[in-house]
A and B are shown apart, each in its own frame.
Chain A
C-alpha cells in the first residue's frame, strides 16, 4: 500500500513537471516540433496513435543523446494542440504554432481531409511538415515543396501482391481487377494496371463498381466465366466481406485473392470466420517485419516498448508517426542546420533505414514504399512478401471451397 502511494506521488510530480516544461519557454538548445492533431472528435482514436508515437519517439531520441547540429546537442520537444478533428481549427492552430509559438518544424495531423488544408500552412510559411496520417495523392499533387508523407501511395497498394503473384508456384497468369469508383480506389487500380503490365499478367477483367454495392453475384458470374488466377479488389471493408461471402456461395475461388482494406483488422476476420482463411491483404508495416535502424533497432523492439508504455498494440499508424519524428532527426543532422529550407532539402534527399522501413521520399514528398503482402493463415496475419522478396510461406494456390476443412 505504502509503495503504491509513494509511486502515485512521484507520478503526480512527474505530471506537474511535464506541464511545467510544456508551458515554460524552451531553452535555446531545444528543437520544437509542433503539431495540431485530433485528440477529440471523430478521429480521436487514430489521433491518439500519432500522439503516443510522437511522444515515445521524441523521448527515445532524447534518451539516446538528442540531435546533433554543428557540434552542439539539442533535445527534441513536442508542442501539441488538439484540432478536435476539425480541419478549420487545425489550420488556425498550425498558423499559431508557426507565427506565435515559433516552433522549428511541423508534424502532421491525422487524415487526408485535414492534412490537405493544414499542409498549406507549412507551404505558406516555408516550414517543413512531415505527416504520417494522410495517403491521398491530393496532398502531394499540388507541387508543394514543404510537405512530406510516410504513408505509401495508393498506386503502390497492390505492387507487392502482383510481384509476389509471379513468384508463386505455378505463377499467376491472369488477373481480374475490381475497384470502387472512389478516388482512392481508382488510384489503386491505376497503379495495379501498371504493375500487371510490368509483370506480364494478362488482365481478363477490369471494372469499377459503386461503393454502396451489396450484391456482387452478377459481377462474380462474369468473373467466373473469365476464370482468372488472381482477383484484386480495391474497396471498403463491407465490399470485401460481401464479395468473399458471395464468392463462396457461388463457388468461386481463384488461386489467390487480395483486398485493400479489411484483412489486417480483427473485425474482418471475426465476421468472415473460416472464409477469411487464405485471404491476402496489404499493410505498410507489421511488428514482425525485419526492419530497423537507429533509435529503434527493430520493429519488434519498437512494438514491445510501445506496448509496455501505452498498453496497446502498435499498428502501421503508430510506426508511420514514429518514422516522421525520426525523419526530422536524420534530416536535421544531415543538413547540420536548423534552417527550415536546408532541412527541407535534406528531407528531399533523405534515404535511411528505420523501424518503419526505408524512408525515402519521391519528388512529390510522399514516401517511395511498397506494402507488405500478408495472408490470413489459421486466423493470424502472416507476412508473405515485402520489398522484393518472399519472407513467409504463402498457402498457394487457395484450395477450392469444397476441399477446405
Chain B
C-alpha cells in the first residue's frame, strides 16, 4: 500500500515538474537561451495568482487564463526589447543577461511584496479522497489534470498551427525561415512569451501547494533545468516524461533510501542520462 501511495505521489508531483520545465525546454530548444530567469517567471505566476486570489477572491484554477496571459505579455516584451539584442550572441552572454533579469525580478518582488511567506488557500486546499487505502489530495489531482490539458493544448499549438510551424522552422533553419518571410524577431518574442506563459501556469499551481516567496525561483530554475535535460531538449513530451521521472525518483528515494537523498538521486540520474543518452530520454538523435 505504501508502495502504491508513493507511486501516486511521485506521478502527481512529476506532472507539476513537467509543466515547470516545458517552457524552459522550449526557449532553450528554439533560441538556445538557457533561461536562468525561468524560476522567477514561475515566481511571478505564483504572485499573480496569489494577488488575484487575495485581492479579488478569484479561484486559482479559474484565474489561470489571466495568469497565463499576463506572463505571456511580460515574456513577449522582455524578449522583444531586451533578450532579442543578444539572441544570437555567445551562450555566455545569454546566460549573463538572463541572470541579470533574474536578479532584477527577484529584488523587485522583494521590494514590492516583501519577503513574507504567502500561500494561496482556497477553501478546498486540503480536501482529499480515499480510494482503496490511498489518500489523494484533490488539488494535486487537479494540478495534474490541468498540466495534462495545458500541455496538450500547447502541443497542438506547436504541431498543428501556422505559428507552431513558424516557431519550429525558426528553430530548425533560421536562414530558410527568414527567406520564407517569417518575422524572426516577432517569432522569438512569441516563443519566449509562450515559455513564460507555461512558467506562469506552473507558478499558479505551485502556489496552491507550496509557500510563495520572492526567492523561490532559484531552486525551481535548477529543477526545470534537470527535467528539461532528462527528458530531452526541444521535445515537449520530453519535459513531461522528464518531470515524471524526476517526481518518481524523488518520491521513491525519499521513501526507501532516506529523505536527504532525493537531490543526490536526481542529479545522479542526470549525470547517468548525460553519459548514456546525451540527448535525453526522448531527445532526437542528432541533438541540437
Q: Which residues of A contact B (CB under 8 A)?
A: 178, 181, 207-210, 212-215, 217-219, 221-222, 224-225, 237-238, 241-242, 245-246, 248-251, 267, 271, 273, 275, 401
Contact = CB atoms under 8 A, between A and B. Distances in A.
Q: Which of A218, A245, A273, A275 has the most CB atoms of chain B within a 10 A radius of its CB?
A: A218
Contacts of A249: 125-128, 137, 139-140
Nearest to A275: B126
A178 B117 CA distance: 22
Contacts of A267: 116-117
Contact of A217 (B13, B116, B117, B211): B13
A209 B264 CA distance: 12
Contact of A218 (B10, B116, B128, B130): B10
Nearest to A401: B126
Contacts of A212: 219, 263
A363 B91 CA distance: 59
15 contacts: A208-B259, A210-B262, A218-B255, A222-B2, A222-B255, A224-B135, A225-B1, A242-B210, A246-B209, A249-B137, A249-B139, A250-B135, A267-B116, A271-B117, A271-B119
A237 B119 CA distance: 13
Contact of A250 (B128, B219, B262): B128
B205 to A, nearest CB: 13
A202 to B, nearest CB: 20
B258 interface: yes
A384 B211 CA distance: 29
A275 B6 CA distance: 24
B5 A271 contact: no
Nearest to A213: B259
B197 to A, nearest CB: 23
A358 B93 CA distance: 61
B63 interface: no
Contacts of B127: 249
Contacts of A248: 126
A218 B263 contact: no
A241 B251 contact: no
B254 A218 contact: yes
A332 B221 CA distance: 57
Nearest to B138: A249
A176 to B, nearest CB: 12
Interface string B176-191: 0000000000000000
Interface residues of B, number: 36
Contacts of B255: 218-219, 221-222
A215 B128 contact: no
Interface in B161-214: 209-211, 213
A151 to B, nearest CB: 24
Contacts of A209: 254, 259-260
Nearest to B213: A238
B250 interface: yes
A237 B6 CA distance: 25
Given A237-B117, A250-B137, A207 B126 contact: no
Given A218-B9, A221-B6, A251 B135 contact: yes
Interface in B115-133: 116-119, 121, 125-128, 130
B102 to A, nearest CB: 18
A241 B211 contact: yes
Interface string B227-246: 00000000000000000000
Contacts of B6: 218, 221
A181 B137 CA distance: 28
B126 A245 contact: yes
Nearest to A242: B210
Among all A-B residue pairs, the 3 with the closest Cβ atoms = A209-B259, A249-B137, A248-B126
A210 B126 contact: no
A93 B163 CA distance: 66
A222 B262 CA distance: 15
Nearest to B127: A249
Contacts of A222: 2, 255
A210 B264 CA distance: 11
A219 B262 CA distance: 11
Given A238-B117, A242-B210, A215 B250 contact: yes
Nearest to A181: B260
Contact of B259 (A219, A238, A250, A273): A219
A282 B259 CA distance: 25
A225 B6 CA distance: 11
B2 A241 contact: no
A174 to B, nearest CB: 17
Contacts of B125: 245, 249
Given A242-B211, A249-B125, A210 B119 contact: no
A210 B259 CA distance: 7
B209 to A, nearest CB: 8
Nearest to A178: B259
Contacts of B139: 249
A221 B259 contact: no
A225 B133 CA distance: 11
Nearest to B121: A273
A272 to B, nearest CB: 8
